[in-house]
């Protein structure tokens, strides 16, 4: 059993299987495979919210005394495309690594690559901040994440991750189900926010997730309401239809926007007023990607520090589908993630105490090098990082001398 | 049995198959019938030349603006808007993002391929895709050579372009198809072309769907299009994106059969738009318009002209001095930017999302902001539809509601929306005038948000 969460009330932890049952996931884990994110939610959303007994440590809250426990916050980072675990958490002492990875092997002894040695067995590639977090005991690395029989389709595998369902039978997202349990009958629509470009179906449950893309102007600030007074009164007077048909959803999309826009506006502000994001960490031609990741984390930090009661954020970092050009693209992508996490940590300040970041990727990549990159494979890797995480290795690494068919 | 050419059926057809109709086009459809209208819509002999190639001065955001303005102008002025809508459909189907190769001209060439061949045989279109410079750069095909094949193109060809994820293939088929698609190399002449380089092609035997031979990419396409999974997948995809709903089983069987006979996309489109199920209530209320579609419908309906980038340079700065009676060149670009959709920039190879995601907070904010961007200019526009709206608003706010929806090609609307527009036209307050406020309400109503 893999249990990652660590905190003041370890005895309260439910097992993974219990959580999966609660969230309606069904058992996803197959031999040698695990899905780690639900373990976290059990601890970080479920328990603290229902009992209040697992609040932030001192200094962890920006809410004044007497305010309700703001609870833990999960930041789910999607590493889109399927991450290559072998060149990310490098098994440097395993002689089979060089044999199977061939020309794609990272030179761990040359001293020229940005590798952080974690222990006798593993080095971390291009992620110095996560290396520091490992040293501080704040980084959990989950090995061998995946399931048997994956079709290796980006879209189907992503749907399975988001639903937490191996047969796609639930049609709702596991995070949405967990948040619905947490939120009660009248959920705050801002309890779950999707910051990437595509709203993940991970949330979809009884209520619609709020997708909030950085760099977007959110209307209905006080100034906007003054300028558009007539429009405001028309919208405010309109009856909200009940129903989940598209006509009702379309009407409500504008009525809901009026309500949440007034709350988000002061925090999000105008995109042109937000401080520019530093592009230096990225390859020039891909500067947009790095900036977009920073913007998502900045927005999450500002919303957390601004008192918005969001309990789960989705952040998108795309481009891990390294069929070609992996030698250049993978370290860039990992470096961007690492730099953004460092920036996020700094921007959060004391609130970092109650934030956990968990990465996931729809699948891993095959160990063989195709000459310029790697193909879709079953087993991937997950990182879970935060001050309350029990650091270390979790799960079982896939054995390098025995693979599933085609993995 | 023919579909009755009522005003609501005629308006529904035009909004889905194209970008909405003018009152004259609706009247014509009511006279000629749905079937004759569909036949004329997809008559490629009526299509006009799509304009000269885009200037290529290297990549910049500026060039993406050229590409988008070119498409918006084509879609708003074309005598065959259904063919332009189909071009847009194929762009979402073979979703290629020019960020990867940074050359809008290659994407422009791909769109012209869709426009020229998108009504024809599906196998022909698939074979052209493996020879399309934008596509092979996008899915790493030009890096796939004998001895080190990569599977990216072969997998997406089966999963997203032709068979679907449950389309009866497995990882073994993908790997073998990956070997068949080796040696497609890019010649960087002007214009760039794709050559099958025999020296880089794996000419060994492959086994795909249980059949063995020395297959190349075209052979793989022939194996794919012979499969019933392909016929059902293509029929489902077109129905989903044009009707919005999941196709009922009997409809799916009918459409698959219509398509399978000749692998003709035109046969499939005609069968779909003349099927009674396409005019059922669930379909009528079953599709959220994508931003590009909404912008084309609004600009076309309100008679707003878009700058011709093949003859007119884009002004250097955001010049606020609009030509008399028109809107500045950047208004449609600003609308697309607000709504988060640009031609040439799908989020991934799966294309743009469908329905509900377009109603989330970011997209709803974008829709409102885009409506405001356009509505702010309404008082300055001197087109026939806007003059009619203005005259009606001076006379009777209720009549203005009818004129607005007539311009947008919408035949029916709810009382609640009508009341909101009338209130906006009669309410005082704020810095924004009644007509822009009323147009903003109309452009963010369910009637306009749904296609």
3-state secondary structure chain A: CCCCECCCCHHHCCCHHHHHHHCCCCCCCCCCCCCCHHHHHHHHHHHHHHHCCCCCCCCCCCCCCCCCCCCCEEEEEEEECCCCCCCCEECCCCHHHHHHHHHHCCCCCCCCCCEEECCCCCEEECCHHHHHHHHCCCEEEEEEECCCCCCCCHHHHHHHHHHCCCCCCCCCCHHHHHHHHHHCCCCCHHHEEECCCCCCCCCCCCCCCEECCCCCCCCCCHHHHHHCHHHHHHHHHCCCCCCCCHHHHHHHHHHHHHHHHHHHHHHHCCHHHCCCCCCCCCCHHHHHHHHHHHHHHHHHHHHHHCCCCCCEEEEEEECCCCCCCHHHHHHHHHHHHHHHHHHHHHHHHHHHHHEEEEEECCCEECCCCCCCCCCEECCEEEEEECCCECCEEEECCCCCCCCCCCC
Among B51, B27, B24, B29, smallest CA distance to B41 is for B29
Q: What is the pLDDT of residue B319?
A: 58
Q: Can you give the residue ranges of every domain in chain B?
A: 291-449
Among B145, B146, B169, smallest CA distance to B159 is for B169
Which two structure tokens, joined as six digits, stand for B286?
Answer: 């079953």
Which one of B95, B147, B368 would you mutate to disrupt binding with A, by most A Cβ within 10 Å of its Cβ? Answer: B368
pLDDT tens digits, one per residue of B289-335:
999 999 999 999 999 999 888 777 777 665 566 677 778 889 999 99
Residue A16 CA neighbour count, 13 Å, CB half: 18
Average pLDDT, chain B: 93
Does A246 contact B at CB distance below 8 Å?
A: yes
Strand partners, B184: B196
Q: What is the rounded CA–CA span in Å between residue B315 and residue B65?
A: 12
Q: Is the pLDDT of residue A73 over 60?
A: yes
Of all residues in chain A, the one with the smallest CA distance to B60 is A285
pLDDT, mean of residues B152-160:
97
Angle at which helices B61-77 and B291-301 cross, to 10°: 50
Average pLDDT, chain A: 77
Which one of B364, B415, B450 would you mutate to disrupt binding with A, by most A Cβ within 10 Å of its Cβ? Answer: B364
pLDDT tens digits, one per residue of B187-240:
877 778 999 999 999 999 999 999 999 999 999 999 999 999 999 999 999 999
Among B177, B259, B258, B250, smallest CA distance to B213 is for B177
pLDDT, mean of residues A316-333:
95
pLDDT tens digits, one per residue of B212-226:
999 999 999 999 999
Q: What is the rounded CA–CA span in Å between residue B280 and residue A324?
A: 47
Q: Could you tell me how far CA B315 lies from the centroid of its own chain?
A: 27
pLDDT, mean of residues A377-391:
93
Cβ contact B357–A211 (<8 Å): yes
Q: What is the pLDDT of residue A159?
A: 87
Q: What is the pLDDT of residue B145?
A: 94
Cβ contact B361–A212 (<8 Å): yes
Cβ contact A211–B427 (<8 Å): no
SS3 assignment, position B148: strand
What's the full length of chain B, in residues? 451
Which two structure tokens, joined as six digits, stand for B4?
Answer: 């009755």
Compare CB distances from A251 to B356, B357, B446 and report the shortest one's residue: B446
Q: What is the rounded CA–CA span in Å between residue A289 and residue B93?
A: 24
Cβ contact A197–B338 (<8 Å): no
pLDDT tens digits, one per residue of A151-180:
899 988 998 888 887 777 777 888 888 887
Compare CB distances from A257 to B286, B361, B431 and report the shortest one's residue: B361
Q: Which residues contact A213 (CB under 8 A, 6 or more apart)?
A: A195, A196, A197, B340, B362
Range scoring the smallest mean pLDDT among A33-42, A249-258, A393-402, B60-69: A33-42
Q: Is the pLDDT of residue A80 over 70?
A: yes
- DSSP string of B48-70, one letter each residue: PP--SPPP-----HHHHHHHHHH
Of all residues in chain B, the one with the smallest CA distance to A209 is B360
Of all residues in chain B, the one with the smallest CA distance to A265 is B365
Which two structure tokens, joined as six digits, stand for A377?
Answer: 């494979």
CA of A197, closest CA in chain B: separation in Å? 7
Range scoring the smallest mean pLDDT among A23-32, A368-377, B6-15, B420-429: A23-32
Compare CB distances from A216 to B359, B365, B427 and report the shortest one's residue: B365
SS3 assignment, position B208: strand
Q: What is the pLDDT of residue A28?
A: 32
Tell how strand A115-117 and strand A89-90 pair up.
unpaired
**Contact criterion met (CB below 8 Å) for B162 and B93:** no
Q: Which residues contact A73 (CB under 8 A, 6 or more apart)?
A: A44, A304, A310, A311, A312, A313, A354, A355, A356
Cβ contact B365–A218 (<8 Å): yes
Q: Which residues of A touch B432 (CB under 8 A)?
A: 227-228, 230-231
Q: Is the pLDDT of residue B16 over 90?
A: yes
Q: Which residues of A touch B366 (CB under 8 A)?
A: 216
Number of A–B residue contacts, CB under 8 Å: 174
In terms of C-beta distances under 8 Å and separation of at least 24 residues, what long-range contacts does A245-249 make, across chains too? Answer: A245/B285, A246/B244, A246/B285, A246/B286, A246/B287, A246/B288, A246/B355, A246/B356, A246/B359, A246/B446, A246/B450, A247/B285, A247/B446, A247/B450, A248/B446, A249/A208, A249/B356, A249/B359
Specify burial of residue A65 (Cβ count, 10 A radius: 0-12, 13-18, 19+). exposed
Cβ contact B359–A234 (<8 Å): no
The residue with tokens 């063995």 is B212
**Contact criterion met (CB below 8 Å) for B71 and B343:** yes
Sign of the dihedral through C-alpha B371, B377, B383, B385: positive
CA of B163, closest CA in chain A: separation in Å? 13
Q: What is the rounded CA–CA span in Å between residue A142 and residue A325?
A: 26
Which two structure tokens, joined as six digits, stand for B283?
Answer: 């379909």
Q: What is the pLDDT of residue A168?
A: 77
pLDDT tens digits, one per residue of A236-246:
999 999 988 99
Q: What is the rounded CA–CA span in Å between residue B425 and residue B367?
A: 20
Cβ contact A155–B350 (<8 Å): yes
Q: What is the pLDDT of residue B326?
A: 79
Q: Which residues of A touch B149 (CB under 8 A)?
A: 370
pLDDT tens digits, one per residue of A16-69:
222 232 233 322 332 233 344 444 444 444 333 333 322 333 333 333 344 456
Which residue did the predictor score with more confidence, A228 or B313? Answer: A228
Q: What is the pLDDT of residue A276?
A: 53
Cβ contact A227–B434 (<8 Å): no
Name the pTM for this structure: 0.87
Q: What is the rounded CA–CA span in Å between residue A224 and residue B365?
A: 13
Which two structure tokens, joined as six digits, stand for B191?
Answer: 């214009």
Which two structure tokens, joined as six digits, stand for B49?
Answer: 């030349």
Cβ contact A210–B287 (<8 Å): no
Q: Which residues contact A337 (CB under 8 A, 6 or more apart)?
A: A77, A79, A127, A293, A317, A359
The residue with tokens 């200019």 is B377
Does A250 contact B at CB distance below 8 Å?
A: yes
Compare CB distances from B368 to A227, A238, A254 and report the shortest one's residue: A254
Q: What is the pLDDT of residue B369?
A: 94
Q: What is the side-by-side order of every strand in the sheet holding A123-125?
A: A89-90, A123-125, A115-117
SS3 assignment, position B367: helix
């Amino acid at each position: 059993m893999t249990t990652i969460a660590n905190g003041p009330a370890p005895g309260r932890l439910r097992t993974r299987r219990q959580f999966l049952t609660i969230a309606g996931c069904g058992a996803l884990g197959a031999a040698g495979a695990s899905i780690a994110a639900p373990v976290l939610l059990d601890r970080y959303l479920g328990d603290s919210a229902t009992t209040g007994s697992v609040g932030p440590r001192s200094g962890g809250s920006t809410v004044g005394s007497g305010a309700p426990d703001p609870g833990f916050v999960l930041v789910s980072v999607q590493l889109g495309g399927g991450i290559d675990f072998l060149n990310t958490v490098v098994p440097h002492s395993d002689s089979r690594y060089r044999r199977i990875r061939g020309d794609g092997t990272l030179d761990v002894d040359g001293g020229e690559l940005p590798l952080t040695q974690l222990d006798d067995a593993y080095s971390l590639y291009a992620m110095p901040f996560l290396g520091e977090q490992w040293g501080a005991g704040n980084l959990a690395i989950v090995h061998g994440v995946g399931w048997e029989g994956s079709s290796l389709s980006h879209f189907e595998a992503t749907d399975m991750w988001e639903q937490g369902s191996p047969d796609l039978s639930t049609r709702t997202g596991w995070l949405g189900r967990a948040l619905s349990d947490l939120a009660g009958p009248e959920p705050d629509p801002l309890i779950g926010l999707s910051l990437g470009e595509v709203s993940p179906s991970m949330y979809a449950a009884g209520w619609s997730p709020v997708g909030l893309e950085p760099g977007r102007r959110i209307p209905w600030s006080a100034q906007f309401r003054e300028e558009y007074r007539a429009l405001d009164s028309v919208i405010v007077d309109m009856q909200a239809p009940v129903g989940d048909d598209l006509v009702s959803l379309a009407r409500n999309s504008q009525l809901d926007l009026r309500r949440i826009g007034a709350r988000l506006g002061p925090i999000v502000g105008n995109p042109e007023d937000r401080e520019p994001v530093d592009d230096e960490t990225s390859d020039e031609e891909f500067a947009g990607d790095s900036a977009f990741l920073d913007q998502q984390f900045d927005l999450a930090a500002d919303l957390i520090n601004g008192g918005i009661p969001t309990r789960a954020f989705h952040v998108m970092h795309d481009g891990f589908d390294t069929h070609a050009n992996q030698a250049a693209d993978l370290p860039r992508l990992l470096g961007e993630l690492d730099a953004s996490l460092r920036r996020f940590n700094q921007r959060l300040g004391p609130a970092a105490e109650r934030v956990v970041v968990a990465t996931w990727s729809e699948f891993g990549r095959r160990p063989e090098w195709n000459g310029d990159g790697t193909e879709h494979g079953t087993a991937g890797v997950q990182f879970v990082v935060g001050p309350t995480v029990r650091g270390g290795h979790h799960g079982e690494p896939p054995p390098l001398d025995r693979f599933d068919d085609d993995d | 049995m023919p579909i009755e050419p009522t005003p609501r059926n005629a308006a529904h057809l035009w909004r889905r198959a194209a970008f909405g109709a003018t009152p004259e086009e609706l009247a014509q459809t009511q006279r000629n019938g749905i079937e004759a209208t569909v036949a004329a819509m997809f008559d490629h002999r009526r299509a006009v030349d799509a304009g000269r190639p885009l200037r290529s001065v290297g990549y910049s955001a500026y060039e993406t603006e050229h590409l988008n303005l070119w498409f918006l102008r084509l879609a708003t002025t074309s005598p065959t808007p259904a063919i332009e809508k189909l071009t847009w459909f194929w762009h979402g189907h073979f979703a290629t993002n020019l960020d990867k190769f940074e050359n809008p001209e290659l994407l422009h060439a791909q769109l012209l391929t869709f426009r020229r061949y998108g009504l024809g045989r599906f196998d022909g279109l698939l074979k052209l895709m493996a020879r399309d410079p934008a596509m092979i750069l996008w899915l790493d095909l030009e890096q796939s050579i004998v001895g080190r094949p990569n599977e990216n193109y072969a997998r997406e060809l089966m999963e997203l372009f032709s068979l679907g994820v449950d389309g009866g293939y497995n990882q073994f088929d993908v790997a073998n198809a990956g070997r068949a698609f080796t040696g497609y190399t890019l010649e960087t002449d002007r214009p760039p072309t794709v050559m099958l380089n025999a020296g880089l092609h794996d000419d060994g035997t492959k086994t795909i769907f249980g059949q063995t031979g020395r297959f190349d990419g075209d052979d793989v396409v022939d194996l794919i299009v012979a499969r019933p999974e392909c016929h059902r997948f293509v029929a489902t995809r077109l129905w989903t994106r044009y009707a919005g709903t999941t196709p009922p089983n009997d409809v799916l069987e009918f459409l698959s059969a219509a398509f399978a006979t000749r692998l003709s996309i035109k046969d499939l489109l005609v069968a779909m738009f003349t099927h009674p199920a396409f005019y059922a209530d669930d379909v009528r209320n079953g599709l959220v318009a994508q931003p590009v579609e909404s912008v084309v419908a609004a600009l076309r309906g309100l008679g707003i002209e878009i700058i011709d980038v093949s003859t007119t340079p884009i002004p250097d700065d955001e010049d606020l001095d609009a030509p008399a009676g028109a809107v500045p060149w950047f208004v449609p670009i600003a609308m697309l930017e607000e709504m988060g959709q640009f031609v040439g920039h799908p989020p991934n190879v799966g294309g743009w999302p469908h329905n509900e995601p377009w109603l989330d907070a970011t997209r709803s904010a974008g829709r409102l902001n885009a409506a405001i961007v356009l509505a702010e200019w309404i008082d300055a526009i001197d087109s026939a539809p806007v003059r009619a709206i203005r005259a009606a608003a001076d006379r009777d706010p209720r009549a203005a509601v009818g004129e607005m929806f007539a311009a947008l090609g919408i035949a029916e609307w709810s009382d609640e929306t009508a009341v909101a527009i009338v209130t906006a036209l009669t309410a005082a307050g704020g810095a924004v005038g009644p007509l822009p406020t009323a147009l903003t309400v109309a452009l963010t109503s369910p009637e306009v948000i749904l296609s």
